[in-house]
Structures are given as structure tokens and as C-alpha cells.
């Protein structure tokens, strides 16, 4: 049966009625015709996009009698191959979870006591609008911060912050890939650089673990490369799953840049680098040469704990495979304070080898704006249109984190991201000025920002905390107002550009009507809130269909096509590598005014006085101490899914990995209850004794040890890793996660 035969537009508002919003702004109605939502009495397949993590993979949702029965990958998409991960599969378990948030709520008891009353959306909006006015009048708009994980909601969520003139709008990225973004910006002038894993013959990874830190397209790329005989060398203080598929080098934490600089030293001394590429496309090589001239393999052995012969062998093997090889630039990249220099060092060595715009190397993501400049690529893809918002008021104060200010590290922090950990510091220290109000969307800072206790202390001090989530999370339990979003399976959203080596647009459409009728999608929540606040002009669309049409029309794609296939890529499109096309020139891809890939970057010099990467020697743990590192697990997402029924069943808690030699000295056996101490804080947990970790390091999966009693399955289970980390803000604003030492004892 064809899906379209069963589609019936349904209402996607509060209980299927038109929604009335009012009080501050004019009385407004949102037309109920948002709906890509379906009511069906028979079997249907709805193409959409997953949101069990932010990768937004294309999915095929099986619906029977109006209920989601199964989720598979969208078979129309070749990059993802019709495959999803365990978390993606667990979508229905989240959708029908009775522990989800069901109604807007306003706090009635002390913060953190969980006392709330259910209210109407109108009451919630009016309460927020009044509080915002109060803070604006008493202190100024800049004292209200906005933080969300990046995603389709940002367009709407951020419009509230920008609309009131706050400069303090943040993404979660300082906790995640931001140092890599800084590195790419400083070298290429753009962040949109990606890796062609599937065709790589040799891959060196500093902690990137594709087989647990899953991204379906990337993970599949790695699996393809392995199947074709590629070698992966994994440097990680613990044996991650990817490391089991190749060579594991258990490097001392926080020393990775030493290995990278020694590689450069060897490549230069042995003249193994691509002189022509360096000459033609890069600048700053002389300064780099100078920086690495004393970074010998012998020196690196002392720093990293990896034998010098291994460093030399790996470097030569890598050089042999180049340019169809890569040193991975990382994803979660806030491990040390100067992590951005590690990412720059990695990309410099890649570019010394010419691993750019060839199969198995790095490439500039091919959005239409770039690629249409090449004769061979005309018509490659037209860019999506966007709704035109009126100009936002210009903030009158600088940001709390210095982002955008010349001559300080903030100069090179990506403007749309900022240093999110600084919100906590500014609330508590009131420096450079206090933050009094905080809007949080799809983000759980109590679990995802380092030093949870400090984050909680900060939340308690706020005049206004607004949280929009699916669950009563560890952060939501301190909120004044809680806004329940509906899940991705119940909402339609704007078209998403997922272009890589080929262009790709993906749709998200609601598969079923609202399970809890008083929940809403973000695009509607913030439009209605904005209207209540008198800033409705920043939401220039009536329904989500209206919004999507404004995107698709300039691209020449129809909504019907998007619904029918779920994804769009031009027919017969093949991956395009610029250096394989005699007509194309790399110059068009490099967005630096010099048109060179800059090893030395003047703005980095101005911002941090380290225009060329320099090595920082960080202390290593002393006898009895352990470096504490963390990571992702395949069956959970970050600070998000610990309470999702099926995933909770698969893995209800984490444990602390410890080497048998170290455990033996402390009398700790596998499965023992232990107390972990960071000096400032203590946490109980369970030990997992394993050879898969260095004796001076301990490890735990992130996202457990939840403190919200309303998340009944996850509450109190396992270790909250961020209770044991300090909120140290790195050199370019990154949250730092691998620098804490802990001690252990039996409980
Ligand atoms: N299943 C699943 N997939 C996910 C996610 C998820 O939560 N679950 N989250 C997504 C997100 S947001 C991200 S950012 C990515 C992250 O993906 P990755 O960056 O691949 O993964 P992580 O597990 O965060 O970190 C990888 C490793 O870094 C090691 N490590 C810690 N300190 C150091 C060090 O100093 N040096 C070296 N060399 N290694 C160190 C840890 O031991 C860990 O094994 O995964 C994404 N995919
Ligand atoms: N010490 C340490 N700290 C870390 C890490 C680490 O490895 N070690 N990892 C870091 C990394 S890489 C990242 S990316 C961050 C992740 O940290 P976060 O971004 O906070 O985590 P997520 O799990 O992605 O999602 C946060 C919230 O989104 C909610 N959510 C899920 N779907 C929806 C939705 O559709 N709508 C709404 N409104 N809410 C939704 C979830 O319920 C959850 O509460 O943590 C970082 N923090
Ligand atoms: S990686 Fe898994 S959880 Fe994340 S979007 Fe894709 S299928 Fe969903
Ligand atoms: Mo992340």
C-alpha cells in the first residue's frame, strides 16, 4: 500500500483545536494546518528524520492504526544505507513513555524540590513574558542567556533571544566539537570540512570512536574502509570499540599533540611530505617546521608513553598511504585547555600530506554556494531558501564570554556558539556581569557541563529559568517554567541540509498525532511565546508547511517529492573531489583571504599569541591518582536517554573502568562498590576491572547518575561523570573534560 493513500492531514495543535495566544501582543491564531501529521487506520510508512541524537538520520517510520510500530532507516538514502542504530530503533519507547512531560508547568515550591502546578500554555507564556520584562527593565536584556543544542529548533529558539536584544546566545558546542571548529576556521576560513572515511586506506584517531560515538554515515564509512583492508590506529587511554578493530596505542591522556608534532618532525626529516601541495596551497610551513624541529620521536615517547619506534613506524605507514589517508580531526574535542592546538596540529599534518579533495582524505562540504563556482558542477544543487526575518535589534553590550572581541581568545570563538560553561560562571561570580535569566532548550547542563554541583548552585541563583524538554530532567527540576515539547515522531520541521560529498536534503514529518495533546513542537512554542512577548514579527510563517515551502521553492524541489522519498539528492550524483577535476581549483574552496590553508594564522596569534600550535606539557597523575576520562556508549545518547525505557533496560547504569594492576593495589575487585573522589566532590559507583585501560587512568560512560527523581528509571543509577570534573574553561572557551585526577577507595 502506498503511504500517500493513507495520509490524512490532521491537526497538530493543542488537542486539535486552533490555538489562541494573547495578552502582550495582539491576539493571534496559529492556523491548525501545520500538519504533516497523519491519522491512519491501516499500515503506512512515513519518511522522516530521527532525533534520538542530533545526527538526524533519515528514517522510515512504520505506522499501524495510528501507532508507531517500528522504525527503520530510510531505504531511499544511499549514504545511510537504510540503517539506523539501537537508539534510533528505540524511538517508539520514548514516544509512548508515560514518564514524559505532558503539560506546561510553573514552579510552586523551592527550586529543586519538584513542586509544580500544571498550567495552560497561555499562562506559561504570560508568566515568562512578564519575568523577561522585569529582568529587562531592572538589569537589561543582556542578563538573559539562551542555550540549546544546535538543531532545527534554533531558528525559533534563538529568535526569542535575538528579538529581545540579548547578545548571550549559546550552543552546546563548547562541550563538544568547538575546538575543531576553531581549528578549521583558522586554517580554511570555514568549518564545513569533512572526511571521506570509506575510501581512506589508513586512519589515525586520537580518541574518535566511530563504533560507539555513532554517526551512521561516518560509522558505515569506517566499516567500508575496514572491509576494503584499511588500517585504523587508535590512540586512546582506554580500549574503545574502534581500537579493537585495528592497532590500539594506549596514549597518556592530554599528550596527543606531542605525537602529532613528532609525526611532523619525522615527515619533514625524512622528506615524506607533499612539497608541491604545501608550496601551492598552504602558508606558514616555515613557522611550523621551526615549531616541530625539536619534537623528536624520543621526546614524544617521554610525553606520550608510546615507544619511539612505534611513532616512527606509524608515521611511515601513514605517509605511504597518503593522500588517501587521514588523521582524524575528532568530534568531542574539549579534552584539554589547549585542545584547539591539537586539532590545528592534526589538520596541519593532514595538509602537509595533501590529504584534501581526494578520495579518502578531507573535503570541503559541497554546499551549493561553493560548488556552483566550478564549471563541472553547475546545477549541483540549488541552496534552500529561508524565511526572511526582519533585522534583529543590535545588542548594546558585549557577551559574557568575550566572543567576537579582538585581541582576546573570544576573537576566534565561533560567534554562533560561545563558551556555554561561562553562563554558570557569570551567574555565580557576576563577572563580567551577572546572568539573571536562562532559557534552555534541548540541553541538560546539569549533566552535560562540567562540575554539576556548581551548575546547580548557579541555577538556584537565577531569577528565571525556562526549560523546554521531553522529560523532567536534572536541569528542568530547577526551572521556573517547564515547556513540554512533543517528540520528533509527532512533529514536522523545516528541511535539513545534510550535504556531504553529494548534496542531500532531508525532511522531518510527523508520523502520528500528538500522544499527549498538550505538548507542542518548538517552531510553534517560540512563535506563540514571541507573539505573547510582542516580538511576533520574527516568526514570519503561519504553519510549518508555509515555512518549508519558503525553503523549497528557490531550490526547485517540491514538498510532495520530499514527503514521498524523505530525502533529495540529484539523480545520478557521484561524489565530487575537486583535485580530480582538471577544471576545478582549490582556491575557491579556501575561504581565507590569502586563498591558502594557513598553518600560521594571524587572528590566532592576535587572540592567543599562539599563531602556530605550541605544545603544552600538562601534569600527569601521581601515584595513587588517576586521570578521569569519559566517552559515549553505543546504546545511549549523551545527557539524554538514560530514562528511555528500552535503552534503560539495555544499559541502566555505568561503572568505572580500572586496570587490574591498579585495582589490585587498592584491593578493589570487579563489581565492587567504590567511592571516587575528585578532591572537591565524591561519588559512589561500581568498579569494572579491565585490561582495556592504562593503569594511570579510569573511565566512565557519560550520561548516568541522574538526579531528577521524576526520571524514575534512571534516577540515582550509576555515576554522573560531571560531579567529578571542575568547570574549567579552555583557551578558546571549551569545556574541559580530561584534566581531572581522582582517587579511589572501596566503599
Ligand atoms: N551511541 C552514541 N553515539 C554518539 C553519541 C552518543 O551519546 N551515543 N554522541 C554523539 C556526540 S554528541 C559526539 S560529540 C560524538 C563523540 O564521539 P567520539 O569523539 O568518538 O567519542 P567519545 O566517546 O566522546 O570520546 C572518545 C574517546 O576519547 C578518549 N579520551 C579521553 N581523553 C583523551 C585524551 O586525552 N586523549 C585521547 N587520545 N583520547 C582521550 C576516551 O577514552 C573515549 O574513548 O558521538 C556522537 N555519537
Ligand atoms: N564530562 C563530560 N561531559 C560531557 C561529555 C563527556 O564526554 N564528558 N560529552 C559532551 C558532549 S560531546 C555533548 S554533545 C554534551 C551533550 O549534552 P546535551 O546536549 O545536554 O545532551 P543530549 O543528550 O544531546 O540532550 C539534552 C536534552 O535534550 C532533550 N531532548 C531530546 N530530544 C528532545 C526534543 O525533541 N525536544 C526537546 N526540547 N528536548 C529534547 C533530552 O531529554 C535531554 O534532556 O555533553 C558534553 N558533556
Ligand atoms: S545515529 Fe542513531 S540515534 Fe542518532 S539520529 Fe542516527 S539513528 Fe538516530
Ligand atoms: Mo557531542
In the 8-state DSSP scheme, what is residue 487? P
What's the 572 CA to ligand 1 centre distance in angstroms? 35
| pLDDT recorded at residue 41 | 58
Confidence band of 38 (pLDDT split at 50, 70, 90): very low
The CATH number assigned to the domain with range 105-172+403-485+520-540 reads 3.40.50.740
Ligand at shortest distance from the CA of 49: 3
Which residue reads 595533501 in cell numbers?
354
What's the 86 CA to ligand 3 centre distance in angstroms? 8
640 CA: nearest ligand 2 atom: 23
Ligand at shortest distance from the CA of 53: 3
List of residues 6+ apart from 313 with CB closer than 8 A: none
Top-tier CATH class for 626-746 = mainly beta
635 CA: nearest ligand 1 atom: 1
Torsion of CA 114, 120, 126, 132, to 10 degrees: 30
Query: Percent of the chain, pLDDT > 90?
Result: 84
Confidence band of 370 (pLDDT split at 50, 70, 90): low
What's the 150 CA to ligand 4 centre distance in angstroms? 10
E strands, 119-266, in order: 144-148, 169-171, 193-195, 202-206, 231-235, 247-249
Q: Which residues have C-beta atoms less than 6 Å from ligand 3?
A: 50, 52-53, 55-57, 84-85, 87-88, 214-216
Higher-confidence position of 574 and 239? 239
Residue 5 has pLDDT above 80, yes or no: no
Rounded Cα gap, residues 248 and 258, in angstroms: 17
Domain ranges of the chain: 3-95, 105-172+403-485+520-540, 193-364, 626-746
| pLDDT recorded at residue 384 | 87
Rounded Cα gap, residues 443 and 130, in angstroms: 24
Rounded Cα gap, residues 420 and 400, in angstroms: 10
The torsion region of residue 284 among left (phi > 0), alpha (psi -120 to 50) and beta comes to: left
Torsion of CA 465, 468, 474, 479, to 10 degrees: 20
| pLDDT recorded at residue 394 | 96
Q: Mean pLDDT of all residues in the chain? A: 92
Domain 193-364: which CATH number of 3.40.50.2020, 3.40.50.200, 2.40.50.840, 3.40.228.10 = 3.40.228.10
Q: State the Rg of the chain over Cα.
A: 25
Higher-confidence position of 611 and 503? 611
| pLDDT recorded at residue 6 | 30
Residue 1 has pLDDT above 70, yes or no: no
Q: What is the pTM of this model?
A: 0.94
Top-tier CATH class for 3-95 = mainly beta
Mean pLDDT over 465-479 rounds to 98
Confidence band of 78 (pLDDT split at 50, 70, 90): confident
Confidence band of 20 (pLDDT split at 50, 70, 90): very low
**Is 639 a pocket residue for ligand 2 (Cβ < 6 Å)?**
yes
The three-class DSSP label of residue 65 is coil
Residue 21 has pLDDT above 60, yes or no: no
Task: Give residue 436's Cα distance to chain centre.
Answer: 26
**Is 630 a pocket residue for ligand 2 (Cβ < 6 Å)?**
yes
Ligand at shortest distance from the CA of 251: 1
Burial 430-465 (b: 16+ CB within 10 A, else e): eeeebbbbbbbbbbbbbbbbbbbebbbebbebbbbb
Ligand at shortest distance from the CA of 483: 2
**Is 256 a pocket residue for ligand 1 (Cβ < 6 Å)?**
yes
Rounded Cα gap, residues 212 and 221, in angstroms: 14
The three-class DSSP label of residue 268 is helix
Higher-confidence position of 268 and 384? 268
| pLDDT recorded at residue 374 | 60
Rounded Cα gap, residues 73 and 94, in angstroms: 17
Q: Whose CA is nearest to atom 15 of ligand 1?
A: 213
Confidence band of 371 (pLDDT split at 50, 70, 90): low
Q: Do domains 3-95 and 105-172+403-485+520-540 have the same CATH topology?
A: no
Task: Give residue 368's Cα distance to chain centre.
Answer: 24
Residue 24 has pLDDT above 60, yes or no: no
| pLDDT recorded at residue 22 | 28
Mean pLDDT over 341-362 rounds to 97
Confidence band of 378 (pLDDT split at 50, 70, 90): low
For residue range 176-221, what is the model confidence (pLDDT) as tens digits? 999 999 999 999 999 999 999 999 999 999 999 999 999 999 999 9
Pocket test for ligand 1, best of 54, 175, 258, 331 (most atoms within 8 A of CB): 331
What's the 53 CA to ligand 2 centre distance in angstroms? 8
For residue range 418-465, what is the model confidence (pLDDT) as tens digits? 999 999 999 999 999 999 999 999 999 999 999 999 999 999 999 999
Residue 123 has pLDDT above 50, yes or no: yes
Rounded Cα gap, residues 514 and 12, in angstroms: 7
Pocket test for ligand 1, best of 243, 619, 632, 737 (most atoms within 8 A of CB): 632
| C-alpha cell read off for 113 | 524540590
Confidence band of 373 (pLDDT split at 50, 70, 90): low
**Is 331 a pocket residue for ligand 1 (Cβ < 6 Å)?**
yes
Out of 81-85, 212-216, 501-505, 740-744, least confident range: 501-505
Residue 35 has pLDDT above 50, yes or no: no
Mean pLDDT over 717-722 rounds to 98
Rounded Cα gap, residues 597 and 617, in angstroms: 27
Higher-confidence position of 330 and 37? 330
Residue 336 has pLDDT above 50, yes or no: yes
Amino acid at each position: 500500500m502506498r503511504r500517500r493513500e493513507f495520509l490524512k492531514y490532521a491537526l497538530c495543535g493543542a488537542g486539535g483545536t486552533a490555538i489562541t495566544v494573547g495578552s502582550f501582543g495582539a491576539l493571534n491564531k496559529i492556523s491548525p494546518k501545520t500538519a504533516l501529521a497523519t491519522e491512519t487506520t491501516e499500515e503506512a510508512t512515513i519518511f522522516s528524520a530521527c532525533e534520538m541524537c542530533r545526527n538526524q538520520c533519515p528514517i522510515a517510520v512504520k505506522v499501524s492504526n495510528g501507532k508507531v510500530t517500528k522504525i527503520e532507516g530510510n531505504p531511499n538514502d544511499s549514504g545511510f544505507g537504510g540503517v539506523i542504530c539501537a537508539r534510533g530503533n528505540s524511538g517508539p519507547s520514548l514516544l509512548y513513555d508515560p514518564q514524559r512531560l505532558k503539560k506546561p508547568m510553573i514552579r510552586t515550591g523551592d527550586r529543586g524540590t519538584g513542586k509544580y502546578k500544571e498550567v495552560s500554555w497561555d499562562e506559561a507564556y504570560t508568566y515568562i513574558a512578564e519575568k523577561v520584562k522585569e529582568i529587562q527593565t531592572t538589569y537589561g536584556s543582556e542578563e538573559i542567556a539562551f542555550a540549546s543544542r544546535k538543531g532545527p529548533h534554533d531558528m525559533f529558539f534563538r529568535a526569542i533571544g535575538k528579538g529581545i536584544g540579548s547578545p548571550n546566545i549559546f550552543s552546546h558546542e563548547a562541550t563538544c566539537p568547538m575546538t575543531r571548529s576553531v581549528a578549521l576556521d583558522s586554517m580554511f576560513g570555514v568549518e564545513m570540512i569533512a572526511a571521506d572515511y570509506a575510501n581512506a586506506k589508513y586512519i589515525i584517531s586520537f580518541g574518535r570512536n566511530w563504533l560507539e560515538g555513532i554517526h551512521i554515515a561516518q560509522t558505515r564509512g569506517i566499516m567500508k574502509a575496514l572491509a576494503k583492508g584499511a588500517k585504523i590506529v587508535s590512540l586512546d587511554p582506554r580500549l574503545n570499540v574502534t581500537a579493537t578493530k585495528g592497532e590500539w596505542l594506549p596514549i597518556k591522556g592530554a599528550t596527543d599533540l606531542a605525537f602529532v608534532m613528532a609525526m611532523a618532525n619525522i615527515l619533514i626529516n625524512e622528506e615524506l611530505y607533499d612539497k608541491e601541495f604545501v608550496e601551492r596551497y598552504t602558508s606558514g610551513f616555515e613557522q611550523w617546521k621551526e615549531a616541530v624541529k625539536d619534537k623528536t620521536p624520543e621526546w614524544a615517547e617521554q610525553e606520550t608513553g608510546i615507544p619511539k619506534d612505534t611513532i616512527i613506524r606509524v608515521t611511515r605507514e601513514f605517509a605511504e598511504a597518503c593522500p588517501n589517508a587521514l588523521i582524524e580531526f575528532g568530534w568531542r574535542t574539549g579534552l584539554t585547555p589547549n585542545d584547539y592546538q591539537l586539532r590545528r596540529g592534526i589538520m596541519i599534518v593532514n595538509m602537509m600530506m595533501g590529504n584534501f579533495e581526494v578520495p579518502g582524505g578531507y573535503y570541503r562540504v559541497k554546499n551549493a554556494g561553493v560548488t556552483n563556482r566550478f564549471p563541472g558542477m553547475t546545477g549541483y544543487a540549488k541552496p534552500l531558501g529561508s524565511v526572511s526575518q526582519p533585522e534583529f535589534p543590535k545588542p548594546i553590550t558585549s557577551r559574557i564570554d568575550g566572543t567576537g572581541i579582538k585581541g582576546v581568545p573570544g576573537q576566534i570563538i565561533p560567534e554562533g556558539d560561545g563558551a556555554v560553561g561561562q553562563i554558570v560562571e557569570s551567574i555565580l561570580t557576576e563577572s563580567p556581569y551577572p546572568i539573571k535569566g536562562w532559557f534552555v532548550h534541548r540541553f541538560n547542563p546539569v549533566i552535560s557541563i562540567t562540575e554539576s554541583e556548581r551548575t546547580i548552585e548557579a541555577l538556584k541563583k537565577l531569577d528565571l529559568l525556562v526549560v523546554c524538554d521531553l522529560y523532567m530532567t536534572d536541569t528542568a527540576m530547577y526551572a521556573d517554567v517547564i515547556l513540554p515539547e512533543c517528540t520528533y515522531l509527532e512533529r514536522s520541521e523545516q528541511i535539513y541540509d545534510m550535504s556531504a560529498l553529494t548534496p542531500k536534503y532531508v525532511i522531518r514529518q510527523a508520523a502520528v498525532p500528538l500522544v499527549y495533546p498538550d505538548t507542542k513542537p518548538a517552531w510553534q512554542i517560540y512563535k506563540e511565546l514571541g507573539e505573547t512577548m510582542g516580538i511576533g514579527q520574527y516568526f514570519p510563517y503561519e504553519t510549518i508547511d508555509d515555512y518549508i515551502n519558503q525553503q523549497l521553492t528557490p531550490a526547485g524541489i517540491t514538498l510532495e517529492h520530499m514527503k514521498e522519498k524523505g530525502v533529495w539528492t540529484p539523480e545520478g550524483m557521484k561524489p565530487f573531489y575537486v583535485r580530480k577535476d582538471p577544471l576545478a581549483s582549490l582556491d575557491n574552496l579556501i575561504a581565507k583571504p590569502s586563498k591558502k590553508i594557513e598553518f600560521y594564522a594571524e587572528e590566532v596569534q592576535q587572540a592567543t599569541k599562539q599563531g602556530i600550535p605550541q605544545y603544552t606539557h600538562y601534569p600527569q597523575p601521581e601515584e595513587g591518582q588517576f586521570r578521569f576520562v569519559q566517552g559515549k556508549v553505543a546504546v545511549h545518547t549523551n545527557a539524554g536517554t538514560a530514562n528511555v525505557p528500552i535503552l534503560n533496560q539495555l544499559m541502566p547504569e555505568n561503572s568505572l573502568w580500572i586496570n587490574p594492576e591498579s585495582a589490585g593495589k587498592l584491593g578493589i575487585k570487579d563489581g565492587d562498590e567504590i567511592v571516587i573522589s575528585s578532591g572537591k566532590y565524591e561519588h559512589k559507583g561500581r568498579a569494572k576491572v579491565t585490561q582495556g585501560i592504562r593503569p594511570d587512568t579510569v573511565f566512565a560512560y557519560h550520561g548516568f547518575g541522574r538526579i531528577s527523581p521524576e526520571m524514575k528509571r534512571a534516577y540515582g543509577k550509576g555515576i554522573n561523570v560531571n560531579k567529578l570534573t571542575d568547570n574549567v574553561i579552555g583557551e578558546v572557551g571549551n569545556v574541559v573534560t580530561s584534566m581531572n585526577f581522582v582517587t579511589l577507595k572501596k566503599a
